[in-house]
């Protein structure tokens, strides 16, 4: 047998064996990888929080807890556009303004906050959400969320107790506010003569007592709204008079504040207490956040259907873009708000819900640096029954790994 034949045979066998060993190694590696991957997915399914991975605006991955919270199968979640998932079947909270989570996803920015995701049955599930953009250049954004329904039920019980206490505090506080205001008025008018220091102390006492009363009223309103029980007393409300009186009141408290009021004569069937509460909040915010440099423009118009539309426009710094999707949330204050004065972050939350109870709508537009304009629209007649809150929604969903 020629040597060349033997050498060729050895070479061919060697090459074949190398290929065979390579194939075996490759198959084993792939199997190990896929087992490892299955193990990772199993672990992610065991995590108590919902997890989603979003890329190019659609959901690429969703774990088992996501399906449980959202009451949707993976097939109903994966490859869905996140936006459609978030708002599925519900109207956007603020037309034209995406929800805060969506803004973070689009801008590839970290996010932490609370949302309401629509589940497969149409219910809005309150969730605590953390969003983390992946820094590996893949464009992936990881969303982890936890169902807060249980926390909220517990919180409600605490709030009920708190509201009960607030209710009991209201009567003694009314006396404190009444007497301290009278005392202050007597000092201011000169009927009661005290030292300058005492006069200053009495003024602080009267002011802080009034502030405490406002806080108690806000808490009571909030408790009522949270329980979904807002009783309205419908009567003819002369909107122009209410707005003018509230402008006068704000100007009394803050003489530097300036308003330009342009008004139609409009009378609507509504609950005057609540209309006042909303108007008061909008005017106070316009002065607080808009500053005194330029007058706040207030315009009241009759709408074609006999209702009214009120616009309150200030010329301040405007609402920061990242705050815009959140300003109607309970207790939400943008971090810059502290520089403008005190607040609980409840005013707009209550105003929007009251507006919806009156059958109306509260919206805003704002370009940072160019002030803000809030618009309240009320119908000719407040409905006997109306939802306390407009149908809002942030639902969520996702895309899963292809391989």
Residue 325 interacting with ligand ADP (CB under 6 A): no
In the complex, minimum distance from the CB of residue 348 to ligand ADP, in angstroms, rounded to a whole number:
3
Concatenated DSSP letters for 317-362? S---GGGTTTTTSTT---GGGGGG----S-HHHHHHHHHHHTT-EE
**CA dihedral (200, 201, 206, 211) positive or negative:** positive
Among 35-43, 54-62, 171-179, 325-333, which window interacts with ligand ADP (CB under 6 A)?
325-333
CA distance 288 to 321: 19
Which residue, 332 or 398, has its beta carbon nearer to ligand ADP?
332
Does 290 engage in binding with ligand ADP (CB under 6 A)? yes
77 versus 350: smaller Cβ distance to ligand ADP: 350
| Binder of ligand ADP out of 57, 81, 345, 368 (CB under 6 A) | 345
> Which of 86, 99, 372, 399 is in the footprint of ligand ADP by CB under 6 A?
372
Q: Which of 131, 133, 307, 316 binds ligand ADP (CB under 6 A)?
A: 316
The residue among 76 and 213 lying less far from ligand ADP, judged by its C-beta, is: 213
Helix (H, G, I), strand (E, B), or coil: what is residue 106? helix
- The backbone region for 71, taken as left when phi is positive above 0, alpha when psi lies in -120 to 50, beta otherwise, is left
Q: Nearer to ligand ADP by C-beta: 173 or 323? A: 323
* Pairing, β 259-263 against β 296-302: parallel
**Applying CB under 6 A, does 285 fall inside the site for ligand ADP?**
yes
Rounded to a whole number of angstroms, the minimum distance from the CB of residue 286 to ligand ADP is 5
> From CA 269, how far away is CA 98, in angstroms rounded?
33
Q: Is position 397 an interface residue for ligand ADP (rule: CB under 6 A)?
A: no
Tell me the residue length of the chain.
403
The rounded distance, in Å, linking the Cα atoms of 294 and 289 is 12
Q: Which residues bind ligand ADP (CB under 6 A)?
A: 281, 285-286, 289-290, 314, 316, 318-319, 323, 327, 332-334, 337, 343-349, 372
């Amino acid at each position: 047998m020629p040597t060349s034949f033997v050498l060729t045979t050895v070479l061919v066998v060697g090459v074949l064996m190398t290929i065979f060993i390579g194939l075996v190694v490759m198959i084993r590696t792939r199997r190990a990888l896929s087992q490892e991957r299955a193990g990772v997915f199993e672990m992610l399914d065991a995590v108590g929080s919902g997890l989603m991975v979003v890329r190019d605006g659609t959901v690429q991955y969703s774990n088992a807890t996501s399906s449980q919270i959202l009451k949707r199968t993976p097939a109903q979640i994966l490859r869905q556009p996140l936006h459609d998932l978030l708002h599925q079947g519900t109207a956007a909270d603020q037309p034209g303004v995406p929800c805060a989570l969506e803004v973070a996803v689009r801008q590839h920015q970290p996010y932490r906050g609370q949302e309401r995701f629509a589940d497969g049955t149409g219910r809005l599930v309150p969730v605590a959400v953390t969003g983390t953009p992946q820094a590996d250049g893949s464009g992936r954004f990881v969303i982890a969320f936890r169902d807060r329904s249980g926390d909220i039920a517990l919180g409600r019980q605490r709030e009920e107790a708190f509201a009960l206490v607030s209710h009991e505090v209201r009567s003694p506080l009314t006396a404190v506010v009444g007497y301290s205001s009278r005392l202050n008025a007597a000092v201011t008018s000169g009927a009661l003569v005290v030292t300058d220091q005492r006069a200053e102390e009495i003024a602080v006492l009267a002011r802080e007592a009034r502030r405490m009363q406002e806080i108690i009223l806000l808490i009571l309103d909030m408790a009522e709204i949270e329980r979904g029980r807002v009783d309205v007393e419908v009567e003819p409300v002369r909107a122009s008079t209410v707005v003018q009186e509230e402008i006068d009141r704000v100007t009394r408290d803050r003489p530097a504040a300036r308003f330009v009021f342009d008004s139609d004569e409009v009378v609507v069937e509504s609950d005057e207490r609540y209309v006042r509460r909303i108007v008061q909040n909008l005017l106070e915010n316009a002065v607080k956040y808009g500053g005194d440099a330029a007058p706040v423009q207030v315009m009241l118009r009759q709408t074609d259907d006999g209702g009214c539309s009120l616009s309150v426009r200030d010329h301040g710094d405007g609402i920061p873009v990242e705050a815009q999707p959140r300003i109607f949330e309970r207790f939400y204050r943008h971090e810059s708000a502290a520089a403008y004065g005190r607040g609980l972050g409840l005013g707009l939350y209550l105003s929007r819900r009251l507006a919806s109870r009156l059958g109306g709508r509260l919206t805003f537009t704002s370009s940072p640096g160019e002030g803000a304009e809030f618009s309240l629209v009320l119908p000719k007649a407040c409905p006997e029954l109306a939802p306390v809150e407009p149908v809002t929604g942030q639902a969520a969903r996702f895309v899963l790994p292809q391989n």
